[in-house]
Chains A and B, each alone.
Chain A
């Protein structure tokens, strides 16, 4: 049958995409550069902060946070991790990575929590959002790395933008879930006592969804960390660098200490945020 002749390409989608990205780059590159600005400014501030703070202050801050929310074992583990990273000679890269993670997670939280709340309160908005979240979660980051570089040029900021795309879905999904899990009777009760929709959100839905939102935040942090190596491919600094460099030059040792530091940092951040979530 003619219509099942798959020998030739009937739909040149690849060309269409190519053309439209080229067109975007040609005509609107300046605008995309403007979008970068808030991310760039936040990142610079964070990087400056972590570069200026003496290592023992950073370690102390983590230790205090861990002590306050996650207990003695996590505190000891955090201190040992940072000391080890320092002795491995990766302190600066780690601080860059930390700045990148905090920056991208902050942007994810600021945009993801409101989107999740809106999805939680509107079935239609949830339906609208769902395909976008599916695409963001299933598209391999390598696919959107190239257009990101073309539009935003290489560097740490582009790395963060790619990280935001990758790490945003869990916080939206878990915020949505948390809002939906609030018992309808509680919302009914609040409404019966004259609560406005805004009061229902602020006094009932949000506080009760908080554990789920915190779990989402934790997932987002983990995913942001897992993007560190990929972001290094487009020129982002941080702990991804020794790994990529190690792979390129077959320096297994360098790649290993980079990888080890990422894993340890992930564990520290995970344990501390889980501790906060359980409060």
Chain B
């Protein structure tokens, strides 16, 4: 993914109510939402939000209801007017746009999918899908052809002449999606688009979205309160609480390094073994033994004893993984001077290193069945670190701070 910034939000505020300027002033003085509401009867919707959204990524904005995520997405196409701040789309500040520019922006660059579907009940499925094109003044044959193409993409071309209320919820949202796709937007805003669907259909729609995204990379801003959904489809996630963006990052980053208790509480109950990979959790804290100029088994044993470890990870000068030795296997070799005294003769048998992209689920059997921490390699065979049983369990029990994991390994 290119890291070209598509949407850049800078110090964005939204204050609802009669005296937004007063409230802004109070915010600067450090008062919180409740105090400001008591004083001025204004509600802080979004507070000092700043983040970048990259071209072609699915960016999930997640938070509980009232966290300001719906307000946030509506400011991106100015259905809601920001109080202060900047929103740059392709480098252009949309907050200062006049009505004509805004209409042009909405027609050409972005479309939106709604939680309640918001299909026009007096129009057929085809007319609904063609709605954005109709607003843009595109002639009937062209727009209907393009709308039909969009309906094909979501598998609904056969229902083009139905009315929306004849379709099931899942199908209606497919029409909503087709309406969004028909205008061929750079940016697709999806406001809790799948939240009203039942779980099976929701998963199906998520897969559908990922499939469409694989074909044509759009920048998708997806609002959700569902963490599993965010984890499944999000390239990056922004977590909002009380109008503020508390953390932005990839699902793995946030899962491993929650910014605060709110984020941590959010992630409790998520099964990390599907999301985290061996590379994410591997720690390079084991004893490594570099095999250069025939280092003797005795020196290796000394190193293990000094570090109070049972296993040593043998790598070459460019950190390529060679094998694992144990204190016992080294002693055995030293006790038999008739063998060549090379470390390679003390390697343990049956070592199956894991790959950095294997999920925790994949490596679980190996971690569980062997006494030694499982070595994790990158795609070139380089040693990245190891995962011990202890580390594995600590990762599952994420409420422990990171530091203690390092210490107990």
Q: Are A195 and B135 in contact (CB under 8 A)?
A: yes
B179 in contact (CB, < 8 A): yes
A8 in contact (CB, < 8 A): no
0 or 1 for each of B98-117: is its CB under 8 Å from A? (1 = yes)? 01000111111011101010
Asked if A190 meets B122 with Cβ closer than 8 Å, knowing A185-B114, A185-B116, the reply is no
Q: Are A192 and B120 in contact (CB under 8 A)?
A: no
> Pick the contact of A186 from B111, B118, B132 — CB < 8 Å?
B118
A55 to chain B, nearest CB (A): 39
> Pick the contact of A188 from B118, B122, B136, B179 — CB < 8 Å?
B118
Q: Which residues does chain A contribute within 8 Å of B77, judged by CB atoms? A: 192
> Pick the contact of B122 from A191, A194, A207 — CB < 8 Å?
A207
Q: Are B135 and A199 in contact (CB under 8 A)?
A: yes
Q: How far is the CA of A88 from the CA of B70 in the complex (A)?
A: 68
A203 in contact (CB, < 8 A): yes
B299 to chain A, nearest CB (A): 70
Q: Are B107 and A193 in contact (CB under 8 A)?
A: yes
Q: How far is the CA of A28 from the CA of B77 in the complex (A)?
A: 54
Q: Are A191 and B106 in contact (CB under 8 A)?
A: yes
Q: How far is the CA of A102 from the CA of B294 in the complex (A)?
A: 110
Q: Are A193 and B131 in contact (CB under 8 A)?
A: yes
Q: Which residues does chain B contribute within 8 Å of A203, judged by CB atoms? A: 120, 134-135
Residue of A at shortest CB range from B104? A194
Residue of B at shortest CB range from A189? B118
Q: Which residues does chain A contribute within 8 Å of B135, judged by CB atoms? A: 190, 193-196, 199, 203
Q: How far is the CA of A206 from the CA of B116 in the complex (A)?
A: 21
> Pick the contact of B111 from A183, A192, A199 — CB < 8 Å?
A192
Q: How far is the CA of A194 from the CA of B135 in the complex (A)?
A: 6
Q: Are A194 and B103 in contact (CB under 8 A)?
A: yes
Query: Which residue among B99, B108, B121, B179 has the maximum number of chain A CB atoms within 10 Å of its CB?
Result: B121
**B126-141: which residues lie under 8 A (CB-CB) from chain A?**
131-132, 134-136
Q: Which residues does chain B contribute within 8 Å of A186, judged by CB atoms? A: 118, 120
A208 to chain B, nearest CB (A): 6
Asked if A188 meets B114 with Cβ closer than 8 Å, knowing A207-B122, A208-B122, the reply is yes
Asked if A193 meets B122 with Cβ closer than 8 Å, knowing A185-B114, A185-B116, A203-B134, the reply is no
Q: Are B106 and A188 in contact (CB under 8 A)?
A: no
**A163-212: which residues lie under 8 A (CB-CB) from chain B?**
183, 185-186, 188-196, 199, 203-204, 207-208
Query: Which residue among A188, A189, A199, A204 has the maximum number of chain B CB atoms within 10 Å of its CB?
Result: A189
Q: Which residues does chain A contribute within 8 Å of B131, judged by CB atoms? A: 190, 193
Q: How far is the CA of A203 from the CA of B122 in the complex (A)?
A: 10
B230 in contact (CB, < 8 A): no
Q: Which residues does chain A contribute within 8 Å of B183, judged by CB atoms? A: 193
B79 in contact (CB, < 8 A): yes
Q: How far is the CA of A190 from the CA of B77 in the complex (A)?
A: 12
Q: How far is the CA of A204 from the CA of B135 in the complex (A)?
A: 11
B324 to chain A, nearest CB (A): 59
Q: How far is the CA of A186 from the CA of B105 in the complex (A)?
A: 19
Q: How far is the CA of A204 from the CA of B110 in the complex (A)?
A: 20
Q: Are A189 and B107 in contact (CB under 8 A)?
A: no
Q: How far is the CA of A194 from the CA of B104 in the complex (A)?
A: 7
Q: Are B106 and A192 in contact (CB under 8 A)?
A: yes
Q: Which residues does chain B contribute within 8 Å of A199, judged by CB atoms? A: 135
Please count the residue pairs between chain A and chain B whose beta carbons lie under 8 angstroms apart in the complex: 57
B129 to chain A, nearest CB (A): 11
> Pick the contact of A196 from B103, B116, B118 — CB < 8 Å?
B103
Q: How far is the CA of A244 from the CA of B120 in the complex (A)?
A: 51
Asked if A194 meets B106 with Cβ closer than 8 Å, knowing A188-B79, A189-B118, the reply is yes
Q: How far is the CA of A195 from the CA of B77 in the complex (A)?
A: 13
Q: Which residues does chain A contribute within 8 Å of B189, judged by CB atoms? A: 192
Q: How far is the CA of A192 from the CA of B187 in the complex (A)?
A: 12
Q: Are B106 and A189 in contact (CB under 8 A)?
A: no
Residue of B at shortest CB range from A186? B118
Q: Which residues does chain A contribute within 8 Å of B99, judged by CB atoms? A: 196
0 or 1 for each of B121-164: is its CB under 8 Å from A? (1 = yes)? 11000000001101110000000000000000000000000000
Q: Are B112 and A193 in contact (CB under 8 A)?
A: yes
Q: How far is the CA of A208 from the CA of B111 in the complex (A)?
A: 23
Q: Which residues does chain A contribute within 8 Å of B107, judged by CB atoms? A: 193-194
B79 to chain A, nearest CB (A): 6
Asked if A192 meets B112 with Cβ closer than 8 Å, knowing A186-B120, A207-B122, the reply is yes
B87 to chain A, nearest CB (A): 15
Q: Are A193 and B120 in contact (CB under 8 A)?
A: no
A272 to chain B, nearest CB (A): 23
Q: Which residues does chain B contribute within 8 Å of A188, judged by CB atoms? A: 79, 114, 118
Q: Are B79 and A208 in contact (CB under 8 A)?
A: no
A210 to chain B, nearest CB (A): 8
* 23 contacts across the A-B interface (CB closer than 8 A): A183-B118, A185-B114, A185-B116, A185-B118, A186-B120, A189-B114, A189-B118, A192-B106, A192-B110, A192-B112, A192-B189, A193-B111, A194-B105, A194-B107, A194-B108, A194-B135, A195-B135, A196-B99, A196-B103, A203-B134, A204-B120, A207-B122, A208-B122
Residues of B within 8 A of A (CB): 77, 79, 99, 103-108, 110-112, 114, 116, 118, 120-122, 131-132, 134-136, 179, 183, 189
Residues of A within 8 A of B (CB): 183, 185-186, 188-196, 199, 203-204, 207-208
15 extra A-B contacts, CB within 8 A, seeds A186-B118, A193-B183, A194-B108: A183-B118, A185-B118, A189-B112, A189-B118, A192-B110, A193-B107, A193-B111, A193-B135, A193-B179, A194-B132, A194-B135, A195-B135, A196-B135, A199-B135, A204-B120
